[in-house]
């Protein structure tokens, strides 16, 4: 029988497909507008995006197929309990200077291992359901250094974003032909010479905007917290990918590219154009609130 294509949209509540859902919705809206305007080429282009992202099964069938096993449900409930318990104990983020306070912050808390050994990320309840269950999760939780929001986690030196390339002028030169350590230093400095000016350019734009633009948030961009703020496309289908932008695309993909052809002098206009398509969101709002249409102070889910 005929049903609306909306029923084949990617799941907005799943971390891996939330971004696809935004792209799907934007492309479908653009397709409808182009069809109504008689713009055949644009309608075909947007329909191709919709068809590439649509699910094979409708929402009703997916719901019947994705019921969690008892082990998965137990691990999912344990992950939620851990975050809620940490949030209540800390009154929000573990960083006392952080603005994520109260129980509305429990959905955005992340388990930061710091320098402690890590078996696997605690949030992956499907993994734990097959690898020791709730008991293994509780054992892993003993390795957690702190429970923090995404902005604070991104700013930690132990995180991948916190370790992003710094000022090449302050980095050792290394050697192209030397010890393993010298070769790593040489390669890191070469990449930093391309990436660092772009990071500075993007960070300056974040400071000009000044704060998270998610409704009800307005978290300020403070020095050192720049990695915890993301440029989020208003219309996901306008996000550039491939080439200079890399597979992930967007502002982050372009800034992270360390090819000589993607140096700031070559791509400044592209960076500015990409940022102009976006709103600036803090990581908690971008990854934990917007995909679920969650209000800023909603503690219910």
Model pLDDT for residues 80-108, shown as the tens digit of each residue: 999 999 999 999 999 999 999 999 999 99
Tell me the pLDDT of the chain averaged across its residues: 91
pLDDT of residue 43: 94
Whether 269 and 286 map to the same domain: the answer is yes
Whether 284 and 187 map to the same domain: the answer is yes
Q: Rounded distance, CA 62 to CA 72, Å?
A: 17
Of 127, 157, 187, the one marking the end of a domain is 157
pLDDT of residue 163: 66
User: Contact, 264 vs 195, CB < 8 A?
Assistant: no
Q: Which of 65-69, 75-79, 84-88, 127-131 has the lowest mean pLDDT?
A: 65-69
Whether 279 and 172 map to the same domain: the answer is yes
Whether 81 and 54 map to the same domain: the answer is no
pLDDT (average), residues 260-289:
96
DSSP string, 156-217: STTSTTTTS---GGGS----SSS-HHHHHHHHHHHHHHHHHHHHHHHHHHHHHH-B--STTT
- Residue bearing tokens 């219309």: 235
- Nearest Cα neighbor of 53 from 92, 17, 106 is 17
Whether 196 and 274 map to the same domain: the answer is yes
Query: How many domains is the chain built from?
Result: 3
- Residue bearing tokens 């269950």: 133
Whether 280 and 252 map to the same domain: the answer is yes
Q: Is residue 162 one of the residues assigned to a domain?
A: no
Q: Predicted confidence band at 260 (pLDDT cuts at 50, 70, 90)?
A: very high
Residue 229 sits in which domain range?
A: 168-291
Sign of the CA dihedral with 262 first, then 268, 269, and 274 last: positive
pTM of the model: 0.78
Instruction: Read off the pLDDT of residues 201-248 as tens digits, 9 standing for 90 and up.
Output: 999 999 999 999 999 999 999 999 999 999 999 887 788 988 999 888
3-state secondary structure of 262: helix
Instruction: Read off the pLDDT of residues 143-182 as tens digits, 9 standing for 90 and up.
Output: 999 999 999 999 887 776 766 667 899 999 999 988 999 9
User: Contact, 153 vs 160, CB < 8 A?
Assistant: no
φ, ψ (nearest 5 deg) of residue 111: -90, 110
Q: Predicted confidence band at 15 (pLDDT cuts at 50, 70, 90)?
A: low
Q: Is residue 298 one of the residues assigned to a domain?
A: no
Token digits for 90? Answer: 């800390």
Question: Helices 18-37 and 40-53 sit at what angle, rounded to 10 degrees?
Answer: 160
């Amino acid at each position: 029988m005929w049903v609306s294509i909306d029923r084949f949209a990617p799941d907005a509540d799943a971390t891996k497909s939330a971004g696809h859902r935004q792209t799907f919705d934007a492309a479908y809206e653009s397709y409808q507008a182009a069809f109504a305007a008689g713009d055949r080429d644009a309608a075909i282009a947007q329909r191709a995006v919709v068809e590439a992202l649509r699910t094979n099964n409708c929402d009703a069938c997916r719901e019947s197929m994705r019921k969690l096993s008892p082990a998965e449900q137990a691990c999912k409930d344990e992950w939620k309990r851990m975050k809620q318990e940490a949030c209540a104990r800390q009154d929000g983020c573990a960083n006392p200077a952080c603005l994520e306070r109260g129980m509305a912050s429990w959905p955005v808390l992340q388990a930061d291992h710091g320098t402690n050994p890590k078996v696997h990320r605690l949030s992956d309840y499907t993994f734990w359901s097959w690898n020791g269950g709730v008991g293994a999760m509780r054992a892993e939780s003993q390795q957690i250094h702190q429970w923090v929001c995404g902005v604070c986690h991104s700013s930690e030196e132990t995180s991948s974003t916190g370790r992003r390339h710094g000022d090449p002028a302050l980095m050792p030169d290394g050697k192209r032909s030397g010890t393993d350590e010298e070769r790593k230093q040489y390669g890191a400095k070469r990449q930093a010479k391309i990436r660092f000016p772009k990071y500075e350019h993007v960070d300056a734009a974040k400071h000009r905007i000044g704060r998270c633009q998610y409704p009800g948030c307005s978290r300020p961009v403070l020095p050192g917290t720049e990695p915890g703020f993301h440029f989020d496309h208003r219309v996901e289908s306008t996000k550039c990918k491939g080439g200079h932008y890399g597979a992930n695309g967007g502002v982050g993909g372009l800034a992270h590219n360390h090819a000589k052809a993607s140096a700031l002098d070559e791509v400044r206009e592209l960076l500015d154009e990409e940022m102009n398509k976006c709103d600036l969101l803090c990581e908690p709002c971008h990854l934990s609130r917007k995909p679920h249409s969650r209000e800023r102070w909603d503690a219910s889910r």
